[in-house]
C-alpha cells in the first residue's frame, strides 16, 4: 500500500475512534501481517501485542508464513518499523504501549542478527537506557539457545515456550511465556471448557505469574466465549485474528455483566379454584421485557422468580399497524383498546379516530380502574389507558386528557407536565395525595399521586420500595370501594435499560418488578375472582445471555441493538379466567379476551 494511502487510512481510523488507553485486557494480533492494513488495524483496534512472521530470504527480511507466500514489498521495516516511526512523528501514536512479537521462520541466529541490523536504522523508536519508553521486540519461533538470550540488545526479549519454569531462567530477557493451547485442551471455544482441562491451564498461568511474566497461548479458539474464558483464566495476551472485535467485546464485557445484590423471597401461589368471571383484573406490563430480560432477572435473583411459579402462558405478537416493530404507544394502545394502531399513536386508530380504552369501556359496567407506573404519567404506556392523541410526545395534550378520563386512581411521575392541569384534576374529583400512605387511607372516589416532578428514579438511583408500596396502596384503595376493578401496573425502566444497553438497570428493574408480581399474586390468592396478567409491550435491546453464574447471581447480557425488536413477548396468566390465555396471540387479543371475561354472564 502506498504511504499516502496508509496515512489517510490511519487518520480516518484513529480520529474517528480515538487512541485507546491501556486496558486490563491485552489483545495479541495473531498473524497481523494478514490484516488488510497490517499494524494499523491492530493498533487502532486496541491490540498491545502484534505478531509478524519473518523470513530471511536473499538478505532481506520479508513478512510471510512460508516462502511460497513471500511478497518482496512486504518487509518488516515497511509494514512495521516505518509506520511506527511515522505515527510517532505525527503524534498519531502518543506512547508505545504495545510490543512487536517477531516470529522467526528461518534459522534463529542469522535471522535475528538481520532483525537487529534493520532495527538499528530506526534507533529512535526502540527501547534503550536513554529511551525507556521505546519499543521492544519479543522474538518467537526460531530462537537462540536460552543461555544466549543475554547477549542481545536491551530492546530484544524472547518468547519462552516450555513448561519448565524455574528461577534459573534469564527472566530479565523473557518478554512472555507462550505455549500451544492444544497441548492443554481440545476445547473448540463453544460452551465451556471441562474442569479437568481447565485446572492445568490455571495452574500454568499461576506459575508463570509467580515470575511476574505474561502468558499467551496460540492455536486457540477465536470467539467471544473463548476471549471471555481466557480473560477470566488470567491469560495476559489473548490470541486473536480479530483484534478490534476482541478488544471491543472485552471492553464492554464487565459493563454488560452484573451481579444482583438485592434478592427477594418468592411467594408460593396457592392455585385456588377461581370463578370463571373475574372481579378484579390486574394487567402488569414490563416495558421492554422479553424472555432474556426475565432470564437475566432470574439469574440475578439466585435462579428463581415469582414468574417462574406461574403455569398458564401465551406468546404475544407485538407488531404495530404500520410497522413490524412496535413502539410503546402502539403496543400499549393495543392492550388498552383492542385495536392495533400506528407507532406514536395513543388511543387512536391509524386514521386518528378515537378508540375507547378499557377504563372507558368498563365504567358503564360498574367497574373502577387505575394506573400505576414507574414512568411519567404522560409516558406512552400509562397515557394509552386515559388519553387519545396521534403523537406520543405532545405531553401537554396527553396531560389534558387525564381529568377527562374515568380513572379512579393514578400513581406516576411527571408532576411538572400537569402544572396547568391541577385545577382540572381537582374539579374532576381527584384528591391529589401527597404520599403513598395517603392513597391507601383515602376514602375519596378518585385519587392521584405524582411521585416526582419529572422522572421517577431507577432502582440503581435509589427508588427503593416506592413501586412496591405504590401497587400495595393502589390495590388497597380499589379493594376498599367494594366494586370490581381493573388496574394497569407498569414497570417502565426495563425498557430504558435496554435502550441504554445497561445490564445493571435491566436486572435490578426486572427483579424489583418480580417482587411486585409476587405481591400481586398474593393479593389474588387472598381475593377470590382476581385475574393477574403479566406481559410486555415489546422487547428492547435484542438481548441475549451468553453466560452467567446462578450461584453468584452474575449474568452477562449481550445486545443486538439499542432499540425495540419485533420478537414475541411472553404473557403469564394467573387466577380467574387465566385459562383463556394460551398459544400465540396478537397483543390486541389480550384486550379482547379481557372484555369477553368482563362481559361473561
Of 223, 258, 293, which residue is a domain's last? 258
Is the pLDDT score of 146 beyond 50? yes
pLDDT, residue 601, reads 63
Residues 310, 161, single domain; the answer is: no
Is the pLDDT score of 89 beyond 80? yes
Residues 388, 482, single domain; the answer is: yes
319 annotated to a ligand binding site: no
Whether 486 maps to a domain, the answer reads: yes
**Number of continuous H segments (helices) and E segments (strands) in the chain:** 19, 24
Residues 26, 137, single domain; the answer is: yes
Whether 404 maps to a domain, the answer reads: yes
Whether 57 maps to a domain, the answer reads: yes
d(CA 302, CA 394): 42
Is the pLDDT score of 371 beyond 70? yes
User: Helix or strand or coil: residue 356?
Assistant: coil
User: Helix or strand or coil: residue 592?
Assistant: helix
- In sign, the C-alpha dihedral spanning 139, 142, 145, 148 is negative
pLDDT, residue 260, reads 73
Whether 594 maps to a domain, the answer reads: yes
**DSSP per residue over 130-161, as a string?**
TBTTSB-EEEEES---GGGGGGS-TTEEEEE-
pLDDT, residue 13, reads 39
DSSP 474: H
Residues 226, 340, single domain; the answer is: no
| Strand 554-559 relative to strand 543-549, pairing | antiparallel
Mean pLDDT of 23-36: 84
pLDDT, residue 377, reads 98
Output the average pLDDT for the chain.
Answer: 93
Is the pLDDT score of 172 beyond 60? yes
d(CA 146, CA 190): 37
d(CA 164, CA 171): 13
| pLDDT bracket for residue 136 (50, 70, 90) | very high
pLDDT, residue 23, reads 41
538 annotated to a ligand binding site: yes
pLDDT digits (tens, 9 = 90+) for 178-233: 999 999 999 999 988 999 999 999 999 999 999 999 999 999 999 999 998 999 89
264 annotated to a ligand binding site: no
Mean pLDDT of 287-312: 97
Half-sphere exposure of 237 (CA within 13 A, CB side): 28
pLDDT, residue 3, reads 39
381 annotated to a ligand binding site: yes
159 annotated to a ligand binding site: no
Residue 263 vs residues 157, 267, 369, 506, 534: alpha-carbon distances, Å: 51, 13, 31, 14, 20
What CATH code is carried by the domain that includes residue 497? 3.40.720.10
Whether 267 maps to a domain, the answer reads: no
Overall number of domains in the chain: 2
| pLDDT bracket for residue 24 (50, 70, 90) | low
28 annotated to a ligand binding site: no
pLDDT digits (tens, 9 = 90+) for 255-288: 899 987 789 999 999 999 988 899 999 999 999 9
342 bridge partner residues? none
In 3D space, the residue among 459, 464, 467 whose CA is nearest the CA of residue 436 turns out to be 467
Q: At 536, list the grid cell.
A: 410486555
pLDDT digits (tens, 9 = 90+) for 403-441: 999 999 999 999 999 999 999 999 999 999 999 999 988
Whether 439 maps to a domain, the answer reads: yes
Mean pLDDT of 468-477: 98
Residues 339, 383, single domain; the answer is: yes
Of 203, 229, 258, which residue is a domain's last? 258
Residues 376, 521, single domain; the answer is: yes
Residues 582, 445, single domain; the answer is: yes
Cα-only R_g, the chain: 32
What CATH code is carried by the domain that includes residue 155? 3.20.20.190
In 3D space, the residue among 489, 570, 588 whose CA is nearest the CA of residue 532 turns out to be 489
pLDDT, residue 18, reads 34
d(CA 193, CA 447): 58
Residues 235, 297, single domain; the answer is: no
Residues 17, 79, single domain; the answer is: yes
Of 228, 258, 288, which residue is a domain's last? 258
d(CA 371, CA 384): 10
Neighbours of 123 (CB within 10 A): 11
**Percent over 70 (pLDDT), the chain:** 96
Residues 344, 462, single domain; the answer is: yes
Structural domain boundaries enclosing 154: 3-258
pLDDT, residue 2, reads 35
Asked whether the beta carbons of 545 and 503 are under 8 A apart, the reply is: no
Asked whether the beta carbons of 29 and 51 are under 8 A apart, the reply is: yes
d(CA 410, CA 441): 15
Within 312-362, residue ranges assigned H as helices are 328-337, 358-362
Is the pLDDT score of 6 beyond 50? no
| pLDDT bracket for residue 61 (50, 70, 90) | very high
Mean pLDDT of 24-33: 87
Whether 268 maps to a domain, the answer reads: no
pLDDT, residue 9, reads 42
Is the pLDDT score of 42 beyond 90? yes
Within 447-600, residue ranges assigned H as helices are 466-480, 493-499, 503-526, 587-598
d(CA 355, CA 387): 10
User: Which active-site residues does the annotation give?
Assistant: 328
pLDDT digits (tens, 9 = 90+) for 519-568: 999 999 999 999 999 999 999 999 999 989 999 999 999 999 999 999 99
Is the pLDDT score of 572 beyond 80? yes
Residues 439, 396, single domain; the answer is: yes
**DSSP per residue over 219-261, as a string?**
S---SHHHHHHHHHHT-SEEEES-HHHHHHHHHHHHHHEEE--
Residues 6 or more apart from 18 whose CB is under 8 A from it? none
Q: What is the dihedral of CA 179, 185, 189, 195, to 10 degrees?
A: -120
Residues 430, 579, single domain; the answer is: yes
pLDDT, residue 95, reads 93
Amino acid at each position: 500500500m502506498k504511504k499516502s494511502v496508509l496515512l489517510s487510512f490511519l487518520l480516518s481510523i484513529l480520529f474517528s475512534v480515538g487512541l485507546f488507553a491501556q486496558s486490563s485486557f491485552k489483545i495479541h494480533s495473531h498473524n497481523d501481517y494478514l490484516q488488510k492494513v497490517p499494524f494499523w488495524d491492530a493498533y487502532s483496534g486496541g491490540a498491545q501485542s502484534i505478531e509478524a512472521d519473518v523470513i530471511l530470504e536473499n538478505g532481506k527480511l520479508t513478512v510471510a508464513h512460508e516462502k511460497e507466500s513471500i511478497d518482496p514489498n512486504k518487509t518488516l521495516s515497511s509494514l512495521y518499523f516505518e509506520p511506527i516511526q511515522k505515527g510517532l512523528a505525527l503524534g498519531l501514536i502518543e506512547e508505545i504501549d504495545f510490543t512487536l512479537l517477531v516470529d522467526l521462520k528461518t534459522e534463529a541466529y542469522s535471522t535475528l542478527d538481520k532483525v537487529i541490523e534493520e532495527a538499528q536504522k530506526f534507533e529512535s523508536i526502540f527501547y534503550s537506557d536513554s529511551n525507556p519508553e521505546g519499543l521492544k521486540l519479543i522474538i518467537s519461533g526460531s530462537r537462540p539457545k536460552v543461555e544466549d538470550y543475554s547477549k542481545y540488545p536491551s530492546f530484544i526479549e524472547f518468547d519462552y515456550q516450555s513448561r519448565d519454569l524455574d528461577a534459573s531462567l534469564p527472566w530479565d530477557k523473557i518478554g512472555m511465556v507462550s505455549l500451544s493451547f492444544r497441548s492443554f485442551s481440545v476445547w473448540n471455544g463453544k460452551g465451556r471448557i471441562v474442569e479437568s482441562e481447565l485446572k492445568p491451564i490455571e495452574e500454568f498461568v499461576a506459575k508463570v505469574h509467580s515470575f511476574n511474566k505474561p502468558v499467551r497461548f496460540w492455536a486457540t479458539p477465536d470467539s467471544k466465549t473463548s476471549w471471555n474464558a481466557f480473560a477470566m483464566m488470567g491469560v495476559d495476551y489473548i490470541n486473536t485474528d480479530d483484534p478490534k472485535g476482541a478488544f471491543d467485546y472485552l471492553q464492554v464485557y464487565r459493563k454488560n455483566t452484573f451481579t444482583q445484590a438485592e434478592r427477594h423471597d418468592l411467594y408460593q401461589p396457592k392455585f385456588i379454584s377461581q370463578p370463571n368471571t373475574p372481579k378484579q383484573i390486574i394487567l402488569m406490563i414490563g416495558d421492554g421485557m422479553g424472555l432474556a430480560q426475565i432470564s437475566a432477572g432470574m439469574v440475578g435473583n439466585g435462579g428463581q422468580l415469582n414468574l417462574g411459579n406461574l403455569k398458564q402462558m401465551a406468546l404475544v405478537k407485538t407488531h404495530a399497524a404500520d410497522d413490524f416493530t412496535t413502539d410503546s404507544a402502539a403496543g400499549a394502545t393495543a392492550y388498552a383498546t383492542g385495536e392495533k394502531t400506528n407507532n406514536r399513536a395513543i388511543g387512536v386508530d391509524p386514521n386518528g379516530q378515537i378508540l375507547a380504552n378499557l377504563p372507558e369501556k368498563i365504567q358503564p359496567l360498574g367497574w373502577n380502574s387505575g394506573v400505576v407506573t414507574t414512568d411519567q404519567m404522560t409516558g406512552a404506556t400509562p397515557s394509552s389507558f386515559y388519553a387519545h392523541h396521534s403523537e406520543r410526545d405532545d405531553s401537554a395534550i396527553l396531560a389534558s386528557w387525564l381529568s377527562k378520563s374515568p380513572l379512579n386512581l393514578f400513581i406516576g411521575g411527571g408532576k411538572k407536565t400537569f402544572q396547568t392541569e391541577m385545577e382540572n384534576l381537582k374539579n374532576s374529583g381527584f384528591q391529589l395525595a401527597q404520599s403513598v400512605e395517603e392513597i391507601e387511607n383515602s376514602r375519596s372516589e378518585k385519587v392521584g399521586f405524582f411521585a416526582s416532578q419529572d422522572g421517577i428514579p431507577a432502582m440503581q438511583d435509589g427508588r427503593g420500595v416506592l413501586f412496591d408500596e405504590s401497587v400495595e396502596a393502589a390495590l388497597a384503595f380499589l379493594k376498599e370501594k367494594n366494586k370490581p376493578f381493573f388496574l394497569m401496573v407498569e414497570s417502565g425502566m426495563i425498557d430504558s435499560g435496554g435502550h441504554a444497553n445497561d445490564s445493571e438497570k435491566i436486572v435490578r428493574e426486572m427483579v424489583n418488578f418480580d417482587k411486585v408480581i409476587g405481591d400481586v399474586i398474593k393479593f389474588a390468592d387472598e381475593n377470590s375472582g382476581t385475574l393477574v396478567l403479566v406481559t410486555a409491550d415489546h422487547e428492547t435491546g435484542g438481548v441475549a445471555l451468553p453466560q452467567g453464574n446462578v450461584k453468584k447471581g452474575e449474568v452477562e447480557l449481550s445486545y443486538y441493538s439499542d432499540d425495540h425488536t419485533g420478537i414475541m413477548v411472553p404473557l403469564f396468566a394467573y387466577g380467574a379466567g387465566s385459562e383463556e390465555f394460551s398459544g400465540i396471540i396478537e397483543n390486541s387479543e389480550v384486550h379482547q379476551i379481557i372484555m369477553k371475561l368482563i362481559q361473561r354472564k
